[in-house]
Amino acid sequence: TEELLRKTEKLSVVGELAAGFAHEIRNPLTTIKGFLQLLKKETNEKHVAYMSIMLNEIDRLEMITNEFMAVAKPQVANHQMEDLQLLTESVNQFLNPQALLKNVEMEMVVKQDIPYVYCDRNQLRQVFINIYKNAMEAMPNGGTITTVMSVEGECVSISITDEGSGIPESLIPRLGEPFYTLKEKGTGLGLMVSRKIIESHQGSLIIKSKVNVGTTMTINLPVDKQQ
């Protein structure tokens, strides 16, 4: 318990710093962007091209700081006994409109009664959203995302499988490194944050993937962790 508390505390101190840092960066960025946009309107063609590049880079910085602020927002961990089936279903419902737009079908299979788990529901909601988002982004032409919930030994297991591009095996160990992304508009923060949250619940995240077949992310969370 002490170890867990210490870890959580460390996480939240870093998170608070990072959120403050991101906030401080965002304001000057907004100013720079505004003036660049003004300049771009009254300058020659070559400079317009340079400015477009600068604006693109600023957009990227904005995206990263926004995502950082969203995930690092200082929040007190609030662990309670939670119904993960309900939580997973509600995240599925929440994402359904976006999925429909992208021709993605969300399926859910619950293999048995799922016991309550001692966890922070907001943090886990974030994990599910990050993983579903990646799954959708891996299927630009649509497909099916299948969520399977079961009990495996001492753990509730939630596996999320997509039919997307997959990940080359050699890259899998790097996933979850901060800012490691293979996407043009990615931030490389989603999996890092998800991993941190799952580990702070003493759970595990297992990634299995096959290029051009799809990816399965399995979250295992121990039951009976109530202290």
Which segment (7-15, 144-152, 165-173, 183-191) binds Mg ion by CB under 5 A?
183-191
190 binds ligand ADP (CB under 6 A): yes
Give me the least distance between CB of 218 and ligand ADP, in Å please: 12
Of residues 213, 200, 218, 188, the one with CA closest to residue 10: 200
Q: What are phi and psi of 165, to 5 degrees?
A: -65, -20
104 binds ligand ADP (CB under 6 A): no
Per the structure block, which two tokens stand in for 44? 């020659």
127 binds ligand ADP (CB under 6 A): no
Q: What is the pattern of x (binds Mg ion, CB under 5 A) and - over residues 127-146? A: -------x------------
164 binds Mg ion (CB under 5 A): no
d(CA 138, CA 183): 10
| Of 155 and 167, CB closest to ligand ADP | 167
**How many other CB atoms are found less than 10 A from the CB of residue 214?**
22
111 binds ligand ADP (CB under 6 A): no
Q: CA angle 126-13-3, nearest 5°? A: 85
Which residue has tokens 């965002």?
Answer: 26
* Member of 124, 162, 197, 200 binding ligand ADP (CB under 6 A): 162
| Of 100 and 182, CB closest to ligand ADP | 182
190 binds Mg ion (CB under 5 A): yes
**How many other CB atoms are found less than 10 A from the CB of residue 24?**
11
Q: Residue 113 carries which DSSP code?
A: P
198 binds ligand ADP (CB under 6 A): no
Q: Give the residues across from 205 on adjacent strands.
A: 219
Q: Give the residues across from 110 on adjacent strands.
A: 149
What residue ranges bind ligand ADP (CB under 6 A)? Answer: 130, 134-135, 138, 162, 164-167, 175, 180-183, 186-192, 215
What residue ranges bind Mg ion (CB under 5 A)? Answer: 134, 190
